[in-house]
A and B are shown apart, each in its own frame.
Chain A
């Protein structure tokens, strides 16, 4: 396991600057461990390469509650830590939903659910068309966000054309009716790994998995309910 969301973690102190929450609040930070592993171990992107055309792309589709995202971006030097102190204010580039035009390293402005996966499909196609074969495309969606039908257009199309991109679904059981049979059943034609969303080594292995077709990583974290 890990200690990212423990009060002693440096990342947690960055999170606390945003939320004002000194206590442990894992359900509010369901994406924290996946984002950390992405930026710490997987993505080929640094503050110096945010405009390189062949950089890896990470699209945060679930643009709600981006505190963990901002904390990771600050920890990795994409944004100044001071930005975390004034979230949502007139002076701050950091809002309750991220804006790519205001924040270095942020690939898409999101918050309205169901946009990231379609944009990721186009991004992966655009990178391939331009010969950036090393560049990988990752997108993160929530399990409730999967309720949006626009995702299913992208899921079906990516499978049909065997497009290599990686979708991470954070499953904290927040979907109103859930996904009977499990989330991987909603991704026919995709390869899939289901991992403990707090176990960094498991997450890393799943994110590095390249199967020559679209790949799903379901990161299971504490239930939002109960």
Chain B
């Protein structure tokens, strides 16, 4: 996904003179050619994430469309107040593109992980959040984001499904409980619910959440499986289903730090987000 992001963003910068790029050393080598080609609007500000957000905000104030990029904890967590004030409060936008996701950088440790990025953005108004589940979903999301002025967050991951799907795909329709799988959680979810009479709904754009489809697909039970902090979507799901009796289960990584290294697969297993763990949680919830 990261390579696709670099290639697509490079093309967008070559094609659209309104677009700009601001990075803070992360992916500097990959973006070096486009920064050389467009020194007037593609910038590496060094390891300065607050400035990256401020520069993006300033570019947007002059009418340009900035793309910003770093590891999720540096892009979102570290510069949170800049994101809040330098975009939303100024009524401007940008395209923020992160790598690292929740525990992609397992061997790097907790310093390079951000399970809470989407929850942080949920405290702010008007952010569209894309969580692609496959690299082939990335280019169109980025190209669409380049064409307007809104606030967009694209959360890239090394975890991928076997193939790409469009946002809002229904992959299994057997009535019964509705299982919502966000981005790269789809494949583990599909494996986990084999043989269970459920409906599986795929989402790569969880903000805004597709409330109409949730209401159309749900009976009385909903399971949401997200690759970021468990329960991040609890409020928006509750709002979407307001006034409608339902039982809900929200699965995702916990906020407790897992003080181990390894791979993202080790962390997924520990967090109960591998197929076996998901199946256990879902069947227990459904009482099946």
Are A126 and B61 within 8 A (Cβ)?
A: yes
For the complex formed, measure the closest distance between the CB of A150 and the CB atoms of chain B, giving whole angstroms: 4
Complex CA gap A121/B53 in Å reads 11
Are B91 and A101 within 8 A (Cβ)?
A: yes
A57-116 contacts to B, CB under 8 A, are 99-101, 107-109, 112, 114-115
Complex: chain A residue closest to B43, CB-CB:
A125
Complex: chain B residue closest to A101, CB-CB:
B91
Of B59, B62, B66, B91, most A-chain CB atoms within 10 Å: B62
Complex CA gap A154/B82 in Å reads 13
The verdict on A153 contacting chain B, using a C-beta distance below 8 Å, is yes
Are B40 and A128 within 8 A (Cβ)?
A: yes
Residue numbers in A under 8 Å from B55 (CB-CB): 118-119, 121-122, 125, 157
Complex: chain B residue closest to A123, CB-CB:
B58
Are B85 and A121 within 8 A (Cβ)?
A: no
The verdict on A217 contacting chain B, using a C-beta distance below 8 Å, is no
Instruction: Report, as a range, how many residues of chain B touch the other chain.
Output: 20 to 34
Other contacts beyond A150-B50, A157-B48: 18, CB < 8 A: A101-B90, A109-B85, A112-B85, A114-B50, A115-B85, A117-B54, A118-B57, A120-B58, A122-B56, A122-B62, A123-B59, A125-B55, A128-B40, A129-B20, A153-B51, A154-B51, A157-B45, A157-B51
Question: Closest 7 interchain pairs by CB?
Answer: A118-B54, A122-B58, A126-B62, A122-B55, A153-B51, A123-B58, A153-B48
- Residues of chain A whose beta carbon lies under 8 Å from any beta carbon of chain B: 53, 99-101, 107-109, 112, 114-115, 117-130, 149-150, 153-154, 156-157, 160
- Residues of chain B whose beta carbon lies under 8 Å from any beta carbon of chain A: 20, 22, 40-41, 43, 45-46, 48, 50-51, 53-64, 66, 81-82, 85-86, 89-91
